[in-house]
A and B are shown apart, each in its own frame.
Chain A
Amino acid sequence: MDKRALRIILFSLLCACQFAVLVWILGSALSLRFFAPVIRVECRLYDPYDPLEGRYLHLQPTKEEILLTNDRKLSEQLVDPSNGFRPRNAWVRYAPDSNGLWKPDCLFLKRPEASDGPFVPCFLKEIDSDRVLLVLPFDRYYLQEDLALKAEELLHGHFDFMPVMEISVGRKGNWAIKSLLVAGKPVENWVKEEGKTNNRAGQIQSASHSQSSIIMKTMLILSYILKIFS
């Protein structure tokens, strides 16, 4: 085999491998989106920035802890008598509550079976007397730059709009955020609608403000004229 043929084969192999990686990412994303069960998790959010990835909404699930009161065995496993608690990776199972929102329910130090219910990987940050603080992996939702800024602006300080993320969870604990809902609508649509309403309100407010300022200025000028004449 001559050098040129070898180079062509190697180049084709590289291209095929690169393409296979993309297909693998795409395949896993599609299988998650269309075939995996969906859980709904309540979260808080704000808008961070990354110079390479653009803007995204930083998500923070409202429930990031798990109680250990009923599981003495697990708490003994977590706290080593000689070294104490050491931060480590684990898996957390989710279970629905009465409102249809899912919350951390049970902790596993080894990966559970798919039949145990939807679970995701997590990091055990620290341990309190009877609860473990978790770091959950779903922490970002990518959004168009201007929409992300607007969403942050609209949601800042409004605790009545508690966003909910819909997460597809696979059999092996792999997951992907399917959508982010605010007031029952996808965040992109909600931002657009709210933005329009706010713009209209802003226009009315600014118009009324400009009218009142004209009236005030006229009154002032009149009072000066009156002073001069008096």
Chain B
Amino acid sequence: MKRQREDHLRWFLSEIPALRESDTVSADTLAILEARYRAELEADSSSRTRGSRKLVFALISVIASLFIAGGVISFIAWNWHVIPIGAKSVLAILVLLIPQVAGGCFLFLSRKAATLPGREGIGILHAILFGAAMAFLGQIWQIPQDLPFFLLLWALSSLACAYLYRSVSALTLGLLLAVIMTGLQDSSGMIYLLFPLLAAAAPFAVFGRKTDSPARNVYANWIFVAATVAGLFIFVHRTEVFYAIALFPEVFAALALAGRLLEKEDIPNSRKPLRLSGSIGLCVSLCVITQTNLWDNLYFSHSFSFGIGFSLLSLFFVLLVAAVGGIQLFRERRMDSSEILILIAGILPVVLLWIATTAHLGASLESSWDYRIPQTYLIPPYFPIYLLAFGALSAGVILHMTPEKMGTNKKLLPSCLLLLAAGMPFIICRDLSFPFTFLCFPAIAFACTSVYWTGVALDVRGGGKTARNVRTLGILAVSLSVLFFTTPFSEGLTRDLYDRENLPFASIMLLIFIALPLLAAWRYRKSERRPNFVSAFYPLFMGIFAVDGLFQQQPRELAVWCDLIFMGLIAFEGFRIGISRKSLIAVNASGILLISGILARFFDESTTFLLKAAVLTACGIGLFAVNAVLAGSYRKEARNG
């Protein structure tokens, strides 16, 4: 918004000489206007710079805190034998007391209590070190570990830290721990605690504070959405199948409704996490629900009744969302034929999905009424998937018929694309009865790539920001799939790469990955939209990791090749016309993930904990020092005017 305002102000100021020449406005009035708007422009740009500096400082202090916490944990993990058990216990208590005292002083005695970097840094340090202190005591006294209970206490404490320090990083830790805790549970017991924990985080994450920056609130929203989705997936996996039918559509519908009520209209989609994730999630969950094996497990029993009940409830929520959207469209816009087409395109897949689901429900009812009846279906088991694909494709066709409206249709387009992409692996696997892994990896790669190409196609037709977002989503998805197919989970060549003998080579790789985004940033500072040579190098590095996939003699190599060709095409595109800044960031995000992979491999058992502790603590202290020096220099700069 600020950037847009700045652009408008700049445009107005550029028009002043022309106005002066044409004599349409008197010179005095023009001078007053120029002085006023130039001052506003300067104030806006300086406040934006201050905001971005604050964000950088906050980021550095969070990373520094993570490093220091990692150092403390590594130091503890050495399991010192020379220190007496009593002294170690005192040390464990000190591990908690130090951040408590520092936090208290910072929050209530320091004048800098309101600064974002400080709150984030000390908040996350306090949250992490409570867990470290508990683990330390458990180790010293060789007490049995009750991991879920430990994680529950840690998550609760982290959420409390998030509220008290107003720290998004502590909130992230709390939600992460809640999800891990859910993952460690079986069907009974503490698994239901996920919901109170999410509810406890919701006020902070969803509503935010007016004094906090919008970017921070959006980040907190995204984190909350991610934790909700991940937690629900685990919950459904651990419990009964019919919960999937019940929970997913309801939760996503609630998110979509919350987004509609709380999020502003005139902001990009990436800043509307609740609405975006709600509407996409709703469509994807409906798509997944039509998977026949989900219904296959339901017999005419209490589960079946629950399934029908919940499915009707879901339908109610879906209709509610559709009605709210429809009413808004009718109230705010003048409906012409294109608008009506778009509305149909958006509603069609949802309606078809519900017809398909209900039809399949009937089919399952027939087959599961009596187990003595052979498994015959009234309609083929994959019929809903066909309907789904047909619906998504027809929606796409209708959208292509109205290209001039595609850019404005922010709500319905991502849903249709996601339907198209998400249905693909299921169609192939269910219909052809091939093993899931054989076709799923290439199908995922294909689906990710198709998202990107759809974005490109939309961009060509003047799709605007939506098209760029879809493109970025596609690039990110493909980059993540490359990462998934190659580095972190695989063994073979990449594993050898991180052995000590190959450390120099791995270090060079690491440096290149670090240098790549820096180089890109430098190029973009120099000139926007120029031929970008950096992107041309990217596939080479991807190739090295992909070799591992080839050595494994597994079908995933197909996917790796698909991805590599895709990355090559991006590079070619970037080389030719220069790719957008967002796309480059997305591509390099996978580079950063690869760096994390390499670092994780480096910090394996061949490196002693004392060395890790020393390296991490030194890095943390160094980063805090960098922060202090930078803050000092900026303060001096501000004082000098």
Contacts and interface: CB of A to CB of B under 8 A. Distances in A.
Interface size range on B against A? 35 or more
Nearest to A148: B79
Given A11-B103, A29-B141, A176-B142, A143 B96 contact: no
A22 B93 contact: yes
B144 A11 contact: no
Given A8-B108, A11-B164, A137 B103 contact: no
Nearest to B141: A29
B616 to A, nearest CB: 12
A185 B463 CA distance: 75
Given A25-B134, A28-B143, A52 B104 contact: no
A29 B140 CA distance: 9
A52 B139 CA distance: 11
Interface size, A (range): 35 or more
A54 B77 contact: yes
Interface string B157-169: 1001101100000
Interface string A143-162: 11111100000000000000
A26 B138 CA distance: 8
Interface string A1-45: 000100110110011011101100110111011000000000000
B497 interface: no
Contacts of B78: 54, 144-145
B351 interface: no
A141 interface: yes
A28 B89 CA distance: 13
Contacts of A14: 157, 160-161, 164
A55 interface: yes
B223 interface: no
B92 interface: yes
Main secondary structure of the interface of A (DSSP, over half): helix
Given A11-B164, A18-B100, A141 B142 contact: yes
B45 to A, nearest CB: 33
A188 B100 CA distance: 34
Nearest to B70: A52
B133 to A, nearest CB: 6
Contacts of A18: 96, 100, 130, 133, 157
Interface string A57-69: 0000000000000
A21 B153 contact: yes
Which 9 A-B pairs have CB atoms at the shortest separation, nearest pair first?
Answer: A54-B77, A29-B141, A144-B81, A177-B142, A49-B605, A142-B139, A25-B137, A15-B100, A14-B160
Interface of B: 73, 76-82, 89, 92-93, 96-97, 100, 103-104, 107-108, 130, 133-135, 137-144, 153, 157, 160-161, 163-164, 603-605, 608-610
Given A29-B143, A52-B77, 18 more contacts: A7-B107, A22-B96, A22-B133, A25-B138, A32-B141, A33-B141, A50-B77, A51-B603, A52-B73, A54-B139, A54-B609, A55-B77, A55-B79, A138-B144, A142-B79, A143-B79, A145-B79, A145-B608
